[in-house]
């Protein structure tokens, strides 16, 4: 083998970090939640997740090859992440073809129309979910399929919101562990937290967004509880663990291309999500507001980036 | 107490110093032929003052400095000038060089070649700076900025502290480390002389904590020989700690304001530890800058060394002593892997700023495949100057120079933290560098137009 | 019913009110402008290439209308005829310009100028130029990453992947000069455009000595001076071991082409002169 001399401008070495590893870490971090979900809601969870992932990857492949006429970028695993996150936002009983449509919207409209990886202004999985929520409201809120007898046919957020259940009766241990009904990936707060801690340790995400989102939500709920003079600790805890709070704060809001670059920006973005979520949850038409809150703050990200610049060295 | 470091950004590349840190300084055999470039510094090239056929002795001036920001060039060996012409440097660019064929080993008479330490110095600051200027000393950390210019404090400003750079934050390189371990006595006298030249009472030697033996050794000598006002400050390992502004911030806590402000605006003067040794030799021994310690290292090399090398020695000579280049893909670097320049011409000479030759081989030689920016913000987090590399790189690519200027691209110190940390392998710095150069040209052109 | 009427009324009144406000605001902040600027702008190509030296066609037309003497203003894209009609329209004297074409002066294709290292950085000529000479041993030749191609607004340039060199499509080239500015090696020159795109030029910019050139590239100019001797029109000068054919003096006589030992003098869209066994001494030589 002859010697081949390379030349390039500096730097000449690179960290071990790469996009595929980051995306792989995110998938890995989602596995505990998937496991709990499968245990509680049954094997259909795996089927729906598989359909979502497979269709996301295939759509990305075909759109980049056929329409954009460029090399497919599925190797970076970002389509897999979108697929898993999309599945996690769906009820387990959803018909498979709706999942495929969701994947088409997520990848086709949410991601590839803007130029693919890194160019999308909105979280692709959320785009898919919101589309489905509006297009197929019945199927998207049908919580009766595959549910163990012990659970009611409604999820906790609407149950409490519409006074079907009293907050005082909520079993917080079940809520935390995931023995409840809901979208596939949202049910177990503890599994999502484990995944979140893994991401923090691997430095895939920083603490700013999740802490800002969850902290704001807790404070907001606490303030409301004080206003009502009741349920001081139950209300904040309930809002952190029910619905998509954990999944949203740890996995959806932290999506790189749709969240701000600087730590200061991340905090503002996180607080925004927290406030909007709570406003929708307490006074809005929908029982859950996480998706919409993230979506709205995604739109504000370029603006936040413009005003939250890093501190220039040597300036006060 | 928490160990100090610079305030923002930075990365932690694996330091890879174990390959060569154990190799004691070896004096490289005198080369048979040297190619001495007339530009081995920032500023105007020196003018050759010898002609083909001239006999020269070691230490004799062969290139006269032109203008204030420039440096003298001395003959590194004795012999006959065989050519004064353009020859390729490491990057293949042809530069004016004086070629000398060696005959014997004669030295200029005034040079004191004994190894006895000489600490007393009663020269005035002006005399010291004149001697440094005469000896052609430049910053040996890699920037090659003429030392006498740095030590000449502009009117109305005052130096308060001398910061000595013993950080050597570049991975692989160990030349400063070997100097600190083996030649600390000379360095400390040099520091004392520089303090005298600057009329400051306080000097701090910043050393990263991956070199505990150097810290201990220098501390021991300071205590033993009673050096007053000189202090060793261990710093937390982090790249680019050796950057001038980062080092000042780490050591003094003061941040140099954005360009065009210079370190002196916060009362600091930074000098490399190896340059301090050169200052000692120039002032106390009348020995001009004709040699330096050059690390030759790399994972694929048969042997690694820290050679005391005369300038102008062809790179080939060092490579041969280290067992030649490894087979397969290689990348030769003048300096370390973060800021070193690629070498494509192995006949090129070793110059003053060359602190090491790093040989990257195999997979390490090639860059990763570039994919789309995922806006993860790692570059923003890594930038020690508080810039937004993803943005600067993009606007430079699109040639939007005004946007690049608005976002302070001229602050960039080209440390490479952004490209290093990019998970999409984007060549961020490659583009930022052209943006910076263009914007600086534009600013200068505007200033010139305003003067008219 | 009542609601409908109310709605229509409210919206109608609101619409009228806003229209009136808009009208007055438009009147108040109206910018008086010479209407000829619009007309002239329409006569310009509208490519906004900057070839005239202005930021765009609008700025150019403003200058054309406002200045009394427009002889220094010329749109290379529109060409002489269009400038004449603009001048007629404005009642001014049109600038005289001969048509030009961009010429890329490097002939060091891959087979003639071998690569000696492997470039691994950003694929951009300016980036390469920031730190070293490039993949070949020639410091003056075409880098081939196409900064000029990106700068060209008319699709007149492309990189030939076989030779690694940039080629100019003379029919598409408007001589706007963007490539001249874009090339970090300064390889482009705007030269006089001959009928049928004929051209003779020295396709080399190397100022190195002959021996150095030959080592790096088989088709470089070695500064031997043979072309200069044979030229009957004093069109060829040699400076720093590099021949240059002055396009103003060259008459396309083609004698130099046969003389060049390395083939550095390129001839385009013309036949070479037939090889003569031993040419009699050219009479016109001075």
Please name which of B173, B87, B37, B91 lies closest in space to residue B343, comparing C-alpha atoms.
B91
Inter-residue contact A132 to A102 (CB < 8 Å): yes
pLDDT at residue B279 tops 50: yes
Structure tokens at A124: 């692709």
Q: Can you tell me the distance from the alpha carbon of B427 to that of C43, in angstroms, rounded to the nearest whole number?
A: 43
Task: Give how far Cα B300 sits from Cα of A223, B15, B324, B329, B347, Å.
Answer: 63, 16, 10, 10, 20
pLDDT at residue B261 tops 80: yes
Q: Can you tell me the distance from the alpha carbon of A139 to that of A133, in angstroms, rounded to the nearest whole number?
A: 8
Return the pLDDT at C277: 58
The mean per-residue pLDDT over the stretch B329-337 comes to: 93
The mean per-residue pLDDT over the stretch B98-116 comes to: 93
Q: What is the mean pLDDT of chain B?
A: 93
- The rounded Cα A135 to chain-centroid distance in angstroms is 20
Structure tokens at B301: 């090399």
- Please name the residue of chain A whose CA is at the shortest distance from the CA of residue B249: A314
Q: Which residues in chain B touch residue C131, judged by CB atoms under 8 angstroms apart?
A: 91, 341-342
- Residue in the block written with tokens 């001075």: C286
Query: Of the ranges B196-210, B256-270, B315-329, C76-90, which one carries the lowest mean pLDDT score?
Result: C76-90
Please name which of B379, B398, B399, B397 lies closest in space to residue B389, comparing C-alpha atoms.
B379
Question: A87-126 in b/e burial notation, b at 16+ Cβ within 10 A?
Answer: bbbbbbbbeeebbbbbbbbbbbbbbbeeebbbebebbbbb
- CA of C76, closest CA in chain B: separation in Å? 23
Provide the CB-side half-sphere exposure for C86 (13 A, CA).
30
- Please name the residue of chain C whose CA is at the shortest distance from the CA of residue A6: C118
Inter-residue contact B162 to B200 (CB < 8 Å): yes
Of B341, B366, B367, the CB nearest to C131: B341
Inter-residue contact C73 to C51 (CB < 8 Å): no
Q: In this predicted model, which residue has the larger pLDDT, B96 or A68? A: B96
- Residue in the block written with tokens 């692989």: B172
Q: Which residues make beta-bridge pairs with C189?
A: C103
Return the pLDDT at A253: 94
- CA of B425, closest CA in chain A: separation in Å? 7
pLDDT band at C280 (very low <50, low <70, confident <90, very high): low
Q: Can you tell me the distance from the alpha carbon of B110 to that of B61, in angstroms, rounded to the nearest whole number?
A: 13
- Please name the residue of chain C whose CA is at the shortest distance from the CA of residue B428: C122
Q: Can you tell me the distance from the alpha carbon of A78 to that of A116, in angstroms, rounded to the nearest whole number?
A: 10
Strands B61-64 and B47-48 come out as: antiparallel
% of chain B residues with pLDDT over 70: 100
Neighbours of chain A (3+ CB pairs under 8 A): B, C
CB contact under 8 A, B91 and C116: no
Structure tokens at B406: 């608005």
Q: Can you tell me the distance from the alpha carbon of B267 to that of B263, in angstroms, rounded to the nearest whole number?
A: 7
Strands B305-310 and B25-27 come out as: parallel
Number of CB atoms found within 10 A of residue B174's CB? 30
- CA of A288, closest CA in chain B: separation in Å? 28
Q: Is A7 in the C-facing interface, judged by CB distances under 8 Å?
A: yes
Inter-residue contact A130 to A295 (CB < 8 Å): yes
- The rounded Cα B103 to chain-centroid distance in angstroms is 30
Q: Can you tell me the distance from the alpha carbon of B206 to that of B247, in angstroms, rounded to the nearest whole number?
A: 7
Provide the CB-side half-sphere exposure for B20 (13 A, CA).
34
Q: Can you tell me the distance from the alpha carbon of A54 to that of A51, in angstroms, rounded to the nearest whole number?
A: 5
- CA of C17, closest CA in chain A: separation in Å? 33
Size of interface A-C (CB pairs under 8 A): 23
pLDDT at residue C182 tops 80: yes
Structure tokens at B134: 């005469």
Please name which of A141, A131, A31, A132 lies closest in space to residue A80, comparing C-alpha atoms.
A31
Of C116, C126, C130, the CB nearest to B344: C116
Provide the CB-side half-sphere exposure for A257 (13 A, CA).
22
Return the pLDDT at A233: 81
Q: Which residues make beta-bridge pairs with B27?
A: B308
Q: Give, for all 316 residues of chain A, the pLDDT tens digit.
A: 577 899 999 999 999 888 999 999 999 999 999 999 888 888 889 999 999 999 999 999 999 888 888 877 788 889 999 999 999 999 888 899 999 999 999 999 999 998 888 889 999 999 999 999 999 988 888 776 655 554 555 677 777 777 666 777 777 777 777 777 778 888 888 999 999 999 999 999 999 999 999 999 999 999 988 888 777 788 888 888 888 889 999 999 999 999 999 999 999 999 999 999 999 998 888 888 899 999 999 999 999 999 999 999 988 7
Please name which of B208, B242, B205, B199 lies closest in space to residue B222, comparing C-alpha atoms.
B205
Q: Can you tell me the distance from the alpha carbon of A226 to that of B201, in angstroms, rounded to the nearest whole number?
A: 62
Of A5, A115, A312, the CB nearest to B386: A312
Of C126, C133, C212, the CB nearest to B93: C133
CB contact under 8 A, B93 and C137: no
Q: Using one digit for the tens of pLDDT, what is the confidence trace for A124-137?
A: 999 999 999 999 98
% of chain C residues with pLDDT over 90: 55
> Which candidate in A3, A4, A6, A9 is best for mutational testing of the C interface (most C CBs within 10 A)?
A9
DSSP state of C66: H
- The rounded Cα A79 to chain-centroid distance in angstroms is 14
Task: Give how far Cα C269 sits from Cα of A207, C190, C197, C200, Å.
Answer: 67, 18, 6, 9
Task: Give how far Cα A66 sits from Cα of A78, B371, C87, Å.
Answer: 19, 19, 50
SS (H, E, C) B66-119: CCCCCCCEECCCCEEEEEEEEEECCCCCEEEEEEEEECCCCECCCCCCCCCCCC
Please name which of A24, A134, A159, A151 lies closest in space to residue A92, comparing C-alpha atoms.
A151
CB contact under 8 A, A7 and C135: yes
- Please name the residue of chain B whose CA is at the shortest distance from the CA of residue C184: B434
Return the pLDDT at B398: 92
Structure tokens at B30: 């005198």
A159 CB-contact burial (10 Å; exposed 0-12 / middle 13-18 / buried 19+): buried
CB contact under 8 A, B341 and A22: no
CB contact under 8 A, C121 and A7: yes
Neighbours of chain C (3+ CB pairs under 8 A): A, B
- Alpha helix locations (H) across chain C? 2-28, 35-43, 57-66, 79-90, 125-131, 147-151, 178-182, 210-216, 226-230, 255-259
Please name which of A283, A285, A251, A253 lies closest in space to residue A271, comparing C-alpha atoms.
A253
Of B94, B341, B397, the CB nearest to C208: B94
Q: Where are the beta strands (DSSP E) in C145-264?
A: 157-160, 165-168, 188-192, 199-202, 236-239, 242-245
DSSP state of C73: -
Q: Which helix (H) or strand (E) holds B305?
A: strand B305-310
% of chain C residues with pLDDT over 70: 96
Q: Is A18 in the B-facing interface, judged by CB distances under 8 Å?
A: yes
Return the pLDDT at C286: 39
pLDDT band at C33 (very low <50, low <70, confident <90, very high): confident
Structure tokens at A282: 């307490």
- CA of B235, closest CA in chain A: separation in Å? 19
Structure tokens at B175: 């030349």
Q: Can you tell me the distance from the alpha carbon of B52 to that of C18, in angstroms, rounded to the nearest whole number?
A: 87
Q: Using one digit for the tens of pLDDT, what is the confidence trace for B2-50?
A: 789 999 999 999 999 999 999 999 999 999 999 999 999 999 999 999 9
Q: Using one digit for the tens of pLDDT, what is the confidence trace for B188-200?
A: 999 999 999 999 9
Q: Where are the beta strands (DSSP E) in chain A?
A: 4-7
Return the pLDDT at B421: 95
Q: Is the ipTM of this complex over 0.85?
A: yes
Q: Can you tell me the distance from the alpha carbon of B395 to that of B155, in angstroms, rounded to the nearest whole number?
A: 39
Q: Can you tell me the distance from the alpha carbon of B233 to that of A212, in angstroms, rounded to the nearest whole number?
A: 38
CB contact under 8 A, B371 and A12: no
Inter-residue contact C104 to C147 (CB < 8 Å): no
> Which candidate in B87, B344, B402 is best for mutational testing of the C interface (most C CBs within 10 A)?
B344
Strands C100-104 and C188-192 come out as: antiparallel
Task: Give how far Cα B53 sits from Cα of B72, B79, B82, B84, B99, Å.
Answer: 21, 10, 6, 10, 10
Q: Which residues in chain B touch residue C121, judged by CB atoms under 8 angstroms apart?
A: 367, 427, 430
Size of interface A-B (CB pairs under 8 A): 160
Inter-residue contact C207 to C140 (CB < 8 Å): yes
Return the pLDDT at C284: 46
pTM: predicted TM-score of the whole model, two decimal places: 0.88
Q: Which helix (H) or strand (E) holds A276?
A: helix A263-283
pLDDT at residue B452 tops 70: yes
Q: Which residues make beta-bridge pairs with B11?
A: B239
Q: What are phi and psi of B188, to 5 degrees?
A: -65, -40
Q: Sheet harboring B33-37: ordered strands across?
A: B33-37, B94-102, B79-88, B55-56
Structure tokens at C84: 């004449």
Number of CB atoms found within 10 A of residue C273's CB? 14
- CA of A17, closest CA in chain B: separation in Å? 5
Rounded to a whole number, what is the distance in angstroms from the first to the last CA of chain B?
55
């Amino acid at each position: 083998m002859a010697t081949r001399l390379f030349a390039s401008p500096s730097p000449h070495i690179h960290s071990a970090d790469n996009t595929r590893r980051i995306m792989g870490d995110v998938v890995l971090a989602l596995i505990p939640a998937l496991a709990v979900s499968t245990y509680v809601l049954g094997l259909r969870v795996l089927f729906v997740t598989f359909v979502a992932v497979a269709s996301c990857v295939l759509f990305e492949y075909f759109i980049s090859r056929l329409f954009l006429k460029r090399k497919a970028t599925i190797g970076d695993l970002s389509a897999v992440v979108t697929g898993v996150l999309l599945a996690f936002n769906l009820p387990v009983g959803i018909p498979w073809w709706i999942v495929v449509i969701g994947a088409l919207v997520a990848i086709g409209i949410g991601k590839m129309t803007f130029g693919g990886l890194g160019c999308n202004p909105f979280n692709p999985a959320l785009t898919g979910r919101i589309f489905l929520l509006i297009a197929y409201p019945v199927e998207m809120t049908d919580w009766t399929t595959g549910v163990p007898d012990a659970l009611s046919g409604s999820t906790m957020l609407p149950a409490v919101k519409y006074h079907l259940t009293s907050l005082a009766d909520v079993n917080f241990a079940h809520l935390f562990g995931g023995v409840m009904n809901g979208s596939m990936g949202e049910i177990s707060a503890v599994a999502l937290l484990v995944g979140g801690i893994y991401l923090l340790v691997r430095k895939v995400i920083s603490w700013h967004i999740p802490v800002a989102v969850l902290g704001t939500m807790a404070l907001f709920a606490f303030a409301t509880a004080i206003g009502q003079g009741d349920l001081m600790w139950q209300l904040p805890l309930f809002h952190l663990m029910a619905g998509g709070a954990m999944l949203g704060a740890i996995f959806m809001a932290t999506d790189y291309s749709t969240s701000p670059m600087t730590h200061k920006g991340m905090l503002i973005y996180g607080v925004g999500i927290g406030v909007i979520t709570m406003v929708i949850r307490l006074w809005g038409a929908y029982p859950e507001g996480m998706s919409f809150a993230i979506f709205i703050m995604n739109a504000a990200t370029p603006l936040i980036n413009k005003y939250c610049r890093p501190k220039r060295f040597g300036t006060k | 107490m928490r160990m100090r470091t610079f305030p923002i950004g930075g990365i932690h590349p694996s330091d890879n110093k174990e390959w060569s840190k154990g190799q004691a300084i070896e004096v490289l055999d005198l080369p048979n032929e040297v190619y001495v470039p007339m530009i081995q510094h920032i500023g105007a090239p020196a003018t050759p003052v010898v002609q083909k056929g001239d006999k020269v002795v070691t230490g004799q001036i062969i290139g006269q400095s032109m203008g204030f920001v420039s440096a003298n060039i001395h003959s590194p060996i004795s012999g006959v000038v065989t050519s004064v012409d353009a020859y390729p440097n490491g990057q293949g660019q042809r530069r004016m060089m004086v070629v000398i064929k060696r005959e014997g080993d004669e030295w200029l008479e005034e040079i004191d070649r004994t190894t006895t330490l000489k600490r007393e110095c009663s020269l005035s600051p002006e005399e010291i700076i004149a001697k440094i200027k005469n000896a052609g000393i430049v910053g040996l950390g890699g920037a090659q900025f003429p030392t006498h210019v740095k030590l000449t404090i502009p009117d109305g400003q005052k130096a308060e502290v001398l910061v000595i750079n013993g950080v050597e934050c570049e991975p692989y390189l160990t030349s400063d480390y070997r100097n600190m371990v083996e030649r600390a006595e000379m360095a400390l006298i040099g520091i004392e002389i520089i303090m005298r030249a600057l009329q400051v009472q306080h000097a701090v030697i910043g050393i990263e904590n991956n070199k505990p033996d150097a810290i201990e050794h220098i501390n021991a000598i300071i205590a033993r020989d009673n050096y007053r006002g000189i202090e060793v400050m261990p710093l937390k390992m982090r790249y680019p700690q050796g950057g001038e502004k980062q080092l000042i911030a780490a050591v003094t806590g003061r941040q140099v304001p954005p360009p065009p402000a210079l370190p002196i605006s916060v009362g600091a003067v930074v000098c490399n530890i190896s340059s301090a040794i050169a200052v000692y030799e120039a002032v106390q021994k009348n020995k001009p800058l004709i040699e330096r310690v050059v690390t030759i290292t790399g994972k694929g090399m048969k042997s690694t060394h820290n050679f005391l090398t005369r300038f102008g020695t062809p790179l080939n000579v060092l490579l041969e002593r280290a067992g030649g280049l490894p087979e397969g893909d290689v990348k030769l670097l003048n300096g370390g892997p973060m800021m070193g320049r690629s070498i494509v011409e192995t006949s090129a000479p070793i110059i003053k700023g060359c602190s090491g030759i790093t040989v990257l081989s195999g997979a390490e030689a090639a860059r990763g495949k570039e994919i789309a920016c995922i806006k993860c913000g790692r570059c923003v987090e890594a930038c020690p100057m508080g810039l937004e590399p993803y943005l600067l790189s993009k606007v430079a690519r699109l040639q939007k120079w005004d946007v690049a200027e608005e976002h302070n691209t001229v602050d960039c110190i080209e440390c490479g933290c952004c490209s290093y940390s990019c998970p999409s392998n984007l060549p961020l710095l490659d583009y930022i560098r052209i943006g910076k150069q263009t914007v600086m040209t534009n600013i200068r052109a505007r200033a010139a137009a305003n003067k008219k | 019913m009542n609601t409908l009427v109310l709605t229509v009324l409210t919206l109608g009144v609101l619409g009228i009110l806003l229209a009136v406000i808009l009208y007055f605001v438009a009147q108040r902040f109206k910018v008086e402008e010479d209407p000829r600027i619009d007309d002239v702008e329409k006569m310009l190509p509208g490519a906004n290439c900057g070839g005239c030296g202005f930021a765009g066609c609008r700025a150019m037309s403003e200058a054309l209308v406002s200045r009394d003497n427009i002889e220094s203003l010329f749109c290379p894209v529109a060409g002489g005829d269009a400038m004449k009609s603009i001048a007629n329209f404005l009642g001014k004297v049109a600038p005289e310009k001969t048509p030009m074409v961009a010429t890329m002066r490097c002939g060091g294709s891959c087979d003639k100028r071998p690569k000696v290292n492997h470039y691994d950085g950003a694929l951009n000529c300016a980036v390469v130029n920031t730190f070293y000479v490039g993949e070949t041993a020639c410091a003056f030749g075409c880098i081939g990453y196409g900064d000029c191609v990106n700068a060209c607004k008319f699709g007149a340039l492309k990189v030939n992947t076989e030779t690694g060199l940039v080629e100019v499509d003379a029919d598409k080239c408007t001589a706007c000069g963007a490539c001249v500015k874009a090339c970090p090696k300064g390889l482009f020159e705007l030269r006089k455009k001959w009928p049928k795109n004929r051209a003779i030029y020295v396709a080399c910019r190397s100022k190195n000595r002959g021996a150095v050139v030959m080592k790096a590239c088989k088709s470089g100019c070695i500064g031997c001076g043979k072309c200069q001797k044979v030229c009957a029109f004093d069109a060829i000068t040699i400076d720093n071991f590099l021949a240059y054919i002055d396009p103003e003096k060259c008459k396309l006589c083609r004698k130099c082409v046969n003389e060049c030992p390395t083939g550095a003098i390129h001839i385009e869209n013309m036949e070479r002169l037939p090889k003569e066994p031993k040419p009699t001494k050219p009479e016109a030589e001075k």
